[in-house]
Amino acid sequence: MASSEKETYRALCHAEVGIPLFSRDWWLDATCGSDRWDALIIEDRGRTLAAMPLYTPLAGIVTMPSYTQTMGPWFAPSADDTKYASALAHRQELAAHLVERLAGRRFFLQNFHHAITDWLPFYWAGYTQTTRYTYLLHAIRDTAALLERMSPNIRRNLTKARDRHGITVRTGVSTDAFLAVQQQTFDRQGITNKQDSRALRRLIEASRSRGQGEIFGGYDAEGRLHAAVFVVWQSSGASYIAGGSDPALRRSGAHALTLWEAVRHTAQFTDTFDLEGSMLRGVERFFREFGGVQTPYFCVRRGQMSLWDRARMKFI
């Protein structure tokens, strides 16, 4: 893969507002490391028609980096007067070229952005797909409508946190404090966090330095941190990345209030908020009750990662 493709992709990220946040070069630099990702580029007469960033932690391995919901292919927008059938055929042709470029890799796994609704060229080439779900809040500048779409349980939690427990939400939470409360959540659930905390630190630093991310914390009058959430944004949408709550204080409703204030904050930059969703039943219920619209996206894969590859991945 020519390194010039990566530089072309960096230039594309600066020129195209439609590239999703998780596929931006600055995001990939932070989560993957600048030397562990690359990009496939399809061009015609100097114009980029399609692109596909790839996280390549090992030779022959393409997978998803930590704290990154989706990646997948990007296609240049069609002209407004293009017929649907023509546009679809053109994207399928471009996708087929990308599939050809992926040949020879022993393992591939990517979550495609929810805007990618056609994975047929990958299916035809022997890839498989699992449907996953996220939850999207639309028209987030209309707070009255957002509150109306919430379940009564979530609205009660907002009121309880604010009025009964005196929770106030503020920004500027330290990364260490955030990671501590996140770890408390995993400890309470009895699960191991398989994501890379070093990547999360880099993402927090990078997004804050760009004015595109922040940690929001819900504090009581005694200064105790009840809950915290890390969110990022660009003009096309904001996303919940990670969060947690103090197990001893989690009944205060602070997690719901903190997330609510984060959504309200990002409304000055965008009109859509991706709650990220989850395949875990309890987490899915929380985001569904927050008023999000269930939205499918594709996890596309091919091949197997060997035990040796898995062992090596732990030391990256």
Per the structure, how many domains does the chain have? 2
Whether residue 284 lies inside any domain: the answer is: no
Digit-coded pLDDT (tens) for 85-99: 999 999 999 999 999
* Cα separation, 31 vs 67, whole angstroms: 7
Q: 63-89: string of b/e by CB count within 10 Å (b at 16+)? A: bbbbbbbbbbbbbbeeeeeeeeeeeee
pLDDT of residue 24 exceeding 80, the answer is yes
Does 226 map to a domain? Answer: yes
pLDDT tens for each residue of 258-316: 999 999 999 999 999 999 866 677 778 888 999 999 999 999 999 999 999 988 988 88
Pick the residue with more confidence: 52 or 315?
Answer: 52
Q: Residue 227 in contact with residue 101, Cβ under 8 Å?
A: no
- Name 62's bridge partners: 108
Same domain, 117 and 65: yes
In a 3-state reduction of DSSP, which class is residue 214?
strand
**For 210-238, what is each residue's pLDDT tens digit?**
999 999 999 999 999 999 999 999 999 99
Give strand pairing partners of 111.
299
What does pLDDT average to over the chain? 95
Residue 90 to residue 78: CA distance in whole angstroms: 9
Per the structure, the complete domain to which residue 221 belongs is given by 140-270
What distance in Å separates the CA atoms of residue 73 and residue 56, rounded to the nearest whole number? 15
Examine the pLDDT at 1 and tell me if it is beyond 60.
Answer: no
Rounded to whole angstroms, the Cα distance separating 230 from 200 reads 10
**Residue 250 belongs to domain with CATH number:** 3.40.630.30
The answer to whether residue 289 sits within a structural domain is no
Residues present in the chain in total: 316
